[in-house]
Structure 1
Amino acid sequence: MINVVNNESIEQEAHAYIRLFSAETGLSEKNCDHRIKEVTMLLHDTGTYTHTAEELIFGARVAWRNNSRCIGRLFWESLEVIDRRHLSSEEEVFAALLEHIDFATNDGRIRSTITVFRAQEAGAGDIRIWNHQLIRYAGYATEEGTIGDPASIAFTEQCQRLGWTGRGTKYDVLPLVVQIGDQEPKWFDIPEKFVKEVQLIHPDSASFDELRLKWYGVPMISDMALEIGGIRYTAAPFNGWYMGTEIGSRNLADVDRYDELPAIADAFGLDRSTNTSLWKDRALLELNTAVIHSFKANGVSIVDHHTAAEQFMRFKKREEANGREVNARWSWLIPPMSPAATPIWNQSDLTEKNVSPDYVSQARPY
């Protein structure tokens, strides 16, 4: 855990953040200096400091603006920030997570949202959400192969160890697992009414529809930490909305995920006996067509990869106009389908660096 007592680097990070906050929000130089002195005194006396509500909101939004792996940062200023730093029990955290799911889902009109729980502090138990995403499907390893999502096998086994039992289908929604400090983690089933799912149908193929594929509507990352001015929030789940290729070119298409391309190719009568038929490419296109079509038909927010790439270029131009260099990992920003047909393809000189505030990976708690 972070212990900021006599930690000069943390103090420097805190000062740098207060100056950034002041510069971009119009805080006067006098008030900025006063806040820096106040934070410095708190660090020396207590080993930590507490962000004001305004500092937390701004920091969470700038963390999105800074995150090198996100293509959808054009809308960073619209992030809804829910402050739940006062909660202390697993049951309270679970209730707040349901609130987040409900608010963010918004019956399909998805709102970019983050819920921030208490900060990491020496002497206090960290709050950790074991799930990679608040809503995700289970994966079961069997002698015949995997049922469900192979990426979820390890976590599913942890849930079963804790006492959870799934139905054993391809699309079992995993429970939420919350741990505080060294206490035994607790799991909580998500009521069905909170889970927005989209049945995938193709605009031109009844054979595709017979595959009965589906996916959940909102990607809510829940295992990353939010870092603001030297303070780390170990539980800060956040979401935007899906780019179609995340589902159609990765989750359902990857051979180490749902691996649905062979079945889709067969549904369209494609020749899988040779790679030169480009059956994988053609099946991938039809799957992505179905994803976009189905989400839009169900009124669930989604963006195609071409529009998302154009939005990123607008974001880049806007940032440069404000004198800020865009932090970016090119290999994460090019979409997994037709990347050369998007404007980001020619931006391979984009660079990634350590910045703050940011969302950062943290070791699994299990």
Structure 2
Amino acid sequence: MSLRKCPFHAPSNPPLPGPPPPLQTEEITDFLSDAFAFGMLAAPLAERTTIYRAALAAGQPAPFTSDELTHAGRMAWRNNARCIGRLFWRGLKVRDRRHLAGAEAIFSELCAHIAEATNSGSIRPTMTVFAPSTAHLPGPRIENRQLAGYAGYRDGARILGDPQNLSFTERALAMGWTPPSTKTPFDLLPWIITGAGEKPRLFPLPPGLIREVHLTHPTLAWFGDLGLRWYALPTISDHRLIAASTEFSAAPFSGWFMGTEIGARDLGDEARYHQLPAIAQRLGLDLSSPQSLWRDRALLELNVAVLHSYAAAGVTLVDHHTASAQFMRFATQEESAGRPLSAQWDWIVPPMSGSTTPVFHLPMTDRHLLPNFFPPASPA
């Protein structure tokens, strides 16, 4: 499925452009009309439109019912231009937790979210929506990019772990986080949660909460000796859901990984775990010349290992060819429904073998549709 802020194309690069322009009345009408078409409105369209407009005019959040909130979350996924996995948007489960704004309660619900979405490896697309922001009080916020992530420690000129998380790791340490006595490249980070009207708080993860997959290879017996692993469930946690002129600053969203996001980006990228040279050496390849294509050959075997390992562990994962074919089906469905496709080519095309996939040849335009996901506002 991961917004490289999609849980079907998990994030490793800069976030979505945002924030959206000020709400126009038509956006409320468009959202409610779409919800009505899918049978998700609590009352006739005209009645709900009047109620929404009155609430928003009074400076209140949109008065979503739980079904309407579910449809808002599904539309936000359907509209997100950076997600390759949107074929499954109608299957998103939205957990309505708008009554929760405190960090302690949010922590408990995040643990429940992970358990429900991981589902013993048979991953279920899931979103949990917490209290909205208001004109007088910003909503709660989760500082972690994703609910699962590995620490990055500065060790002189090198970094142990994930360089992407270096600054977050330093912030967690400054707040009192105690890492393992023996640091490793794969130490799971705590959560930093700011409740509405509260100061940021640090929450170490309960042992065993995050399921991980240790990487092996179907034909290279030595591959497991590299000690590589990754987490099962990508959950984007720092983005805002914006729907019907209402901002939900904490609305974590889970799906499943596309294999190349782990193999080609998280573990293969020079700015991340940079594992291609080590794999190429174990393969006996010539690293002295780019013409040996050692990077390409190492990248292939790394991605074979990712696909093999997740399948062996019984954890949902999609390969980039299947994901591309699914996106083409999604594009066809959107056209048939009379909805313009919104997509960013450089995010949809997989980071490996892009020209061999049908999405490579598909013209794309980001139409900045609403509802949608947007990057966090200024840091807490």
Q: What is the TM-score normalised by the length of structure 2? A: 0.90
Answer whether contact 2:190 2:204 (CA < 8 A) is retained: yes
Deviation digits for residues 101-134 of structure 1, max 9, x if unmatched? 1111111111110000011111224200000000
Measure the CA separation in 1 of the matches of 2:308 and 2:164: 26
Query: Is 2:368 the counterpart of 1:358?
Result: no
**SS of residue in 2 equivalent to 1:270:** coil
Answer whether contact 2:102 2:140 (CA < 8 A) is retained: no
Amino acid across the alignment from 1:51: F
Q: Work out which of the residue numbers 227, 234, 254 in structure 2 matches 1:239.
A: 254
Partner of 2:30: 16
Partner of 2:125: 112
Deviation digits for residues 148-189 of structure 1, max 9, x if unmatched? 000000111111111102122100100011002453211111
Measure the CA separation in 1 of the matches of 2:205 and 2:139: 23
Answer whether contact 1:11 1:43 (CA < 8 A) is retained: no
User: Closer, same or farther in 2 for the Cα pair 1:173/1:27, shift >3 Å?
Assistant: closer
Give the Å deviation of 1:207. Answer: 2.1
Taking every aligned residue pair, what percent have the same amino acid on both sides? 44
User: Closer, same or farther in 2 for the Cα pair 1:58/1:128, shift >3 Å?
Assistant: same
Answer whether contact 1:330 1:350 (CA < 8 A) is retained: yes
Measure the CA separation in 2 of the matches of 1:48 and 1:73: 27
Structure that is richer in helix per residue: 1
Aligned pairs, number: 358
Give the Å deviation of 1:46. Answer: 4.7
**SS of residue in 2 equivalent to 1:227:** strand
Answer whether contact 1:11 1:230 (CA < 8 A) is retained: no
Deviation digits for residues 239-270 of structure 1, max 9, x if unmatched? 11000000000000111100010111111111
Answer whether contact 1:208 1:268 (CA < 8 A) is retained: no
Worse-superposed segment, 95-104 or 314-323: 314-323
Measure the CA separation in 2 of the matches of 1:98 and 1:180: 16
Query: Is 2:183 the counterpart of 1:175?
Result: no
Amino acid across the alignment from 2:107: F
Measure the CA separation in 1 of the matches of 2:130 and 2:40: 27
Q: 1:158-307 counterparts in 2 under 5 A?
A: 158-167=171-180, 168-181=183-196, 183-307=198-322
Give the Å deviation of 1:343. Answer: 0.4
RMSD: 1.8
Amino acid across the alignment from 2:198: Q
**SS of residue in 2 equivalent to 1:192:** coil
Amino acid across the alignment from 1:365: P
Structure 2 unaligned runs (5+)? 1-20
Deviation digits for residues 318-352 of structure 1, max 9, x if unmatched? 111111111100110000000001001111x2110
Answer whether contact 2:62 2:245 (CA < 8 A) is retained: no
Answer whether contact 1:225 1:359 (CA < 8 A) is retained: yes
Give the Å deviation of 1:139. Answer: 0.4
Answer whether contact 2:101 2:196 (CA < 8 A) is retained: no
Q: Work out which of the residue numbers 39, 55, 60 in structure 2 matches 1:25.
A: 39
Amino acid across the alignment from 1:58: H
Worse-superposed segment, 90-99 or 205-214: 205-214
Partner of 2:14: none
User: Closer, same or farther in 2 for the Cα pair 1:20/1:284, shift >3 Å?
Assistant: same
Query: Is 2:74 the counterpart of 1:61?
Result: yes
Answer whether contact 2:144 2:238 (CA < 8 A) is retained: yes
Q: Work out which of the residue numbers 338, 358, 361 in structure 2 matches 1:346.
A: 361
Give the Å deviation of 1:38. Answer: 1.6
Amino acid across the alignment from 2:379: P
User: Closer, same or farther in 2 for the Cα pair 1:27/1:209, shift >3 Å?
Assistant: closer
Q: Which has the higher contact order (CA 8 A, sep 6+)?
A: 2
User: Closer, same or farther in 2 for the Cα pair 1:52/1:144, shift >3 Å?
Assistant: same
**SS of residue in 2 equivalent to 1:115:** strand
Measure the CA separation in 2 of the matches of 1:43 and 1:111: 33
User: Closer, same or farther in 2 for the Cα pair 1:279/1:46, shift >3 Å?
Assistant: closer
Measure the CA separation in 1 of the matches of 2:49 and 2:134: 20
User: Closer, same or farther in 2 for the Cα pair 1:8/1:77, shift >3 Å?
Assistant: closer
Give the Å deviation of 1:192. Answer: 2.2
Structure 1 unaligned runs (5+)? 1-6
